[in-house]
Copies of this chain bind each other. A is one copy, B any other.
């Protein structure tokens, strides 16, 4: 059977940017575009060029490799000519492959919010689509409030969709803007619309205000649409958009969808979806939802004693899909054997040689489990994992030893009555039996520590002179200032190599320092620096 093509459209960078508390920089947007492309999603909506400085800068160049780079904007304003609409011009002039313009399709909004006539609105849709097409770009129209509009005035809502279609829009997207439509209504309305606009040109844009964004998207697909819009981890205005991280596995793995449709997401991309979801949360600096479908830490976890033993006998009868297909894993008293083979694969990837039956592999497995339970996150800190693995296997030389550190932060009025805050750090290090003391100042305690630590490492200095901190993330693991703090540090050297390290402690300064020391140690190890001539005292404080 030939499967039809189903297109996926990501609006994380546009509708997702409406999420309360979310604020993307241009660098964030570039990183997120990379995640979206890893999933093989067909369209990346990057934002609204001309609407704000971030989006304008993001659209300064084409930001996708394979996905259609899509700019969002509004259809032509009523009462203006096309040539006199600078907002539209900014979108048309952008390097986007596809232009998606939002159009009103609810009669009430046309007359009240736009203050124009129903016919003028239809003309505006047509002219806007023609303008896109004449610029050689693919045209897409978001029919705002489509379902509410349909219920208020069916014929006018359909007329808006038809106008866009006839003018040459590749896609007409039916938007449940207020998010209140239920799946059976969506299915019935889409079936009716598909009698007027071919389903292969229809899309669905669902919101989760009744917890039905996924079901609404699937209902629309069953009724004929061939494009589904959503966001990574369901970001979006109010309760969020349809979550592509949930939708994609269902479309790829479940009947009838898997038999009917082909998507841009291949099996390899699907196996990365758990990683992509978590990397995105990392970028948002928030804890991944443990109970998220398919990708959550608990999605394949069993606590029930009743199920736990049975699941090990025959997982397939207790799991609706195999966790590996989505890059997740089963969590039931993880069989030592399964954990062990994962670990061996990981060590091989890092180039760490070890015999398959070395008992230290089991020790490392236990150590990682113990530490992850305490809050360490080795998935996001490759270099720290590399060091931990080599240390457990006895393969990390000692380079230097930290004797002590001290950080002082003081806020006070200075002599001329200004408020000043001073941060100063002192670090005492031993290299080859020689004690080196350095002091650093910084704009905060971690910066001061970093300055002090890098100031004088004796003969190792030349290896670290070109390294710098590229990113620094703090996560409070269980609320309150008395909680555990996890610090992730990304470092970068002159050759552009990046590596990540982690530190965990109730004390944020302590956690930061652990990650800083790991960062320098990893760099020295990779650079092949000669180990210390006098071995150190405590592995916790050595680099």
Interface residues in chain A, defined as those with a beta carbon under 8 Å from any beta carbon in chain B:
18-21, 23, 25, 27, 106, 108-109, 112-113, 145, 148, 178-184, 208-215, 218-219, 222, 234, 237-240, 243, 246-247, 249-250, 254, 285-287, 290-294, 296-304, 310, 313-314, 317-321, 331, 333, 377, 379-380, 403-413, 419, 421, 423, 442-447, 450, 468-476, 478-483, 485, 505-510, 512-513, 538, 540-541
| Chain B, Cβ-Cβ closest to A240 | B291
Which residues on the B side are within 8 Å of A468 (C-beta)?
A: 480
A209, B299: Cα distance in complex, Å: 7
A299 to chain B, nearest CB (A): 6
- Flag if B478 contacts A20 (CB, 8 Å): no
- Contact partner of A21 among B109, B238, B290, B506, CB < 8 A? B290
A319 to chain B, nearest CB (A): 7
**Given A411-B510, A471-B476, A538-B419, CB of A481 within 8 Å of CB of B447:** yes
A467 to chain B, nearest CB (A): 12
| Chain B, Cβ-Cβ closest to A152 | B317
Total copies of this chain within the assembly = 2
A513, B411: Cα distance in complex, Å: 10
- Contact partner of A180 among B212, B213, B254, B408, CB < 8 A? B254
- Contact partner of A239 among B239, B296, B412, B480, CB < 8 A? B296
| Chain B, Cβ-Cβ closest to A507 | B444
- Contact partner of A481 among B178, B377, B472, B507, CB < 8 A? B472
- Contact partner of A210 among B145, B184, B254, CB < 8 A? B254
A72 to chain B, nearest CB (A): 11
Which residues on the B side are within 8 Å of A184 (C-beta)?
A: 218, 222
- Flag if A238 contacts B443 (CB, 8 Å): no
Q: Which one of A182, A294, A379 has the greatest number of beta carbons of chain B within 10 Å?
A: A182
9 contacts between A and B (CB under 8 A): A20-B291, A20-B380, A211-B243, A211-B250, A407-B410, A419-B540, A444-B509, A472-B480, A474-B475
**Given A18-B304, A208-B291, CB of A485 within 8 Å of CB of B405:** no
A250, B216: Cα distance in complex, Å: 14
Which residues on the B side are within 8 Å of A480 (C-beta)?
A: 468-472
